[in-house]
Chains A and B, each alone.
Chain A
Amino acid sequence: MSCKLTNRFVPGYLDGELDLSRTIEMETHLQVCAECARELATLQAMRAALQRNSLAYAAPQALRERIQSSLRASAPSPASAPVEAPERASSWNAFQFLRWAGAFAVLVLCAVVAWQLLPGFRGPANEQQLAAEVLTSHVRSLEANHLMDVVSTDQHTVKPWFDGKLDFSPPVEDLASDGFPLVGGRLDYLEGRQVAALVYQRRKHFINVFVWPVAAGSGSTQILAPQQGYNMTRWSRGGFQFWAVSDVSAVDLAEFVRLLETRSVPESK
């Protein structure tokens, strides 16, 4: 093997574990290095075979039941267990019917509400355009080494820094205690206007949160389909629109958004 990058970086590239600059480097390199390209194709073929043949085992139903009953045995509960058990299997009584009917009604209601809200919230095609803009801003901020104009982990330094630079004062929260420290902020442009970009860190990954005021009040949180390996979520709250974008896992980003939502700007009733 003559190319030094093959063993060092092709597997990480395949597994999506390289950092952004290395990923871009590898993408360029793969176009010119036959050796790396071939190694990648080979690994991809093996992965495809592993995934095509669904090699995960599903737990047998008997095991599920065995586990549940052994859990019950290890957690004795004099009140409910012995009396309730035989009844549960017995019949489809009126009470159960009502319970299911109720659940169904709630489901239908949710669907209707979602149907009504989504198109209005989502807006027309400019949603996608905005998502693309957000993504580009995020990538550029990392690439051009222009992640932060104000470098500080203190929300009381970052927030005032925006004063006089923006026509609004963005909510700034530090989530260091939850593993998402605030590391700074900068000005950015989206939809032809200046917006605040807050930068958080998750281990070695950065999360950009773009904030700007919107006319409408609060809207439901929307998780966008991942693009080029980046996860994006948008929401609005307290008169602000928020977009979070990062290469952290979808799970991490969801957790981050949840934390930020519960902290930022209490809902005006």
Chain B
Amino acid sequence: MQGTASRERFEQAVLPHLDAAYSLARWLTRNDEDAQDVTQESFLRAFRFFDGYQGGNMRAWLLTIVRNTCYTWLHQNRPPESAVEFDEEIHSEEFSADTNPELQVLASADKATLQRALEELPEMFREALVLREIEGMSYKEIADVASVSIGTVMSRLARARTRLRQALVAAPRKES
């Protein structure tokens, strides 16, 4: 039985993280409508679990719930993404000229290109990169949210970055 007082306490503690929750859901589902549903579902779950919340990092706690809700939802509603081969060869050394044109391409990437490139990353890489670069989380926090080791976070981030670089470099550029 949860009364008004506990609801108010919950709203005060958790609602400030609504943007972060929605943003993560939006990146993981890649769709506004789904993201809204998942976020709402996550808040209701969080409210149910709130008594069990032991203190600590509220944002990480909430984002863990959002993430799990997203994957449950995606699992039920969408065909699974093709598995990522973990042993793929990474060729990031295609640009070894002194001028480093890759850097210029990356630095000048526009929002639409970045969005598309991020959305096309496999889930686990997208998740790591979004939590790191958009939410500004530490390796430890990402590890907590994704329930993996810090080593796994580091390797996923490295792969995510390599893939994003490749995608951005390969993206068609606007005529300047």
Contacts and interface: CB of A to CB of B under 8 A. Distances in A.
Co-assembled chains A and B: yes
B39 A15 contact: no
Interface residues of B, number: 53
B37 to A, nearest CB: 9
- DSSP class of A's interface residues: helix, strand, loop or mixed? helix
Contacts of B21: 59
Interface in A25-58: 38, 41-43, 45-51, 53, 55-58
A49 B102 CA distance: 13
Say which size band chain A's interface belongs to: 35 or more
Contacts of B19: 56-59
A22 interface: no
B118 interface: yes
B40 interface: yes
A204 to B, nearest CB: 10
Contacts of B36: 60, 62-63, 66
A7 B132 CA distance: 18
Given A15-B138, A55-B111, A57-B19, 20 more contacts: A11-B158, A12-B154, A15-B139, A42-B102, A42-B165, A43-B161, A45-B106, A47-B133, A49-B108, A50-B134, A55-B114, A56-B20, A56-B135, A57-B35, A67-B40, A68-B11, A71-B10, A74-B44, A75-B2, A251-B57
Interface of B: 2-4, 6-7, 10-11, 15, 18-23, 26-27, 32, 35-36, 39-40, 43-44, 47, 57, 93, 100, 102-104, 106-111, 114-115, 118, 132-135, 138-140, 154, 157-158, 161, 164-165, 168
23 contacts: A11-B161, A15-B132, A17-B138, A38-B100, A38-B103, A42-B106, A46-B106, A50-B133, A50-B134, A53-B110, A56-B20, A56-B135, A59-B21, A59-B22, A63-B18, A63-B22, A67-B18, A70-B40, A74-B47, A75-B2, A75-B6, A75-B47, A251-B57
